[in-house]
């Protein structure tokens, strides 16, 4: 287990390859002091991942690729963020948004489009980039039969 670390999560014990740890220099909004995260797959076919803190077993954010639900999703990233992420093109970044599933009400699942998490997997760096000038919905209600934007 030289290059691996076992961590306790809400998904149970997980062994994480340390090469897959992503450094968040600014942390995540609300958790600015947490800097090391990894992405955990819930199930191979699931559209959601868990952005799991390596240092806080209770901190795991449910995330998803917004383009799988809303292909027209757009985001703005400034030069400072691109420099911090060490990328020249937005296409070199993974884009994730947080997912909220109310307890006992999976039919009310929503993705938040206002605080995308951008990850440069090559450099293992991530940041959250709040979107202040969103054109369109700020949240998207997920329903397998009908995706309905909510304001």
* pLDDT value for 92: 87
Decide: pTM greater than 0.95.
no
Res. 1: pLDDT tops 50: no
d(CA 80, CA 62): 26
d(CA 49, CA 98): 10
Res. 151: pLDDT tops 60: no
84 membership: H or E segment, kind and range: helix 79-85
pLDDT tens, position by position, 110-120: 999 999 999 99
Average pLDDT over the chain, rounded to an integer: 88
pLDDT tens, position by position, 22-75: 999 999 999 999 999 999 998 888 889 999 999 898 899 999 999 988 898 888
* pLDDT value for 143: 67
- Residue positions counted in the chain: 151
């Amino acid at each position: 287990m030289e290059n691996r670390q076992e961590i306790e999560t809400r998904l149970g014990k997980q062994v994480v390859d340390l090469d897959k740890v992503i450094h968040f220099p600014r942390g995540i909004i609300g958790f600015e002091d947490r800097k090391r995260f990894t992405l955990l797959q819930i199930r191979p076919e699931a559209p959601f991942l868990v952005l799991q803190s390596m240092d806080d077993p209770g901190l795991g954010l449910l995330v998803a690729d917004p383009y799988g639900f809303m292909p027209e999703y757009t985001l703005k990233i400034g030069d400072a963020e691109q420099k911090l992420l060490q990328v020249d093109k937005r296409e070199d970044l993974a884009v994730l948004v947080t997912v909220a599933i109310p307890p006992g009400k999976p039919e009310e699942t929503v993705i938040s489009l206002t605080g995308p998490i951008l990850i440069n997997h090559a450099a293992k760096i991530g940041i959250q980039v709040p979107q202040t000038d969103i054109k369109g919905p700020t949240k998207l209600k997920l329903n397998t039969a009908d995706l309905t934007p909510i304001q």
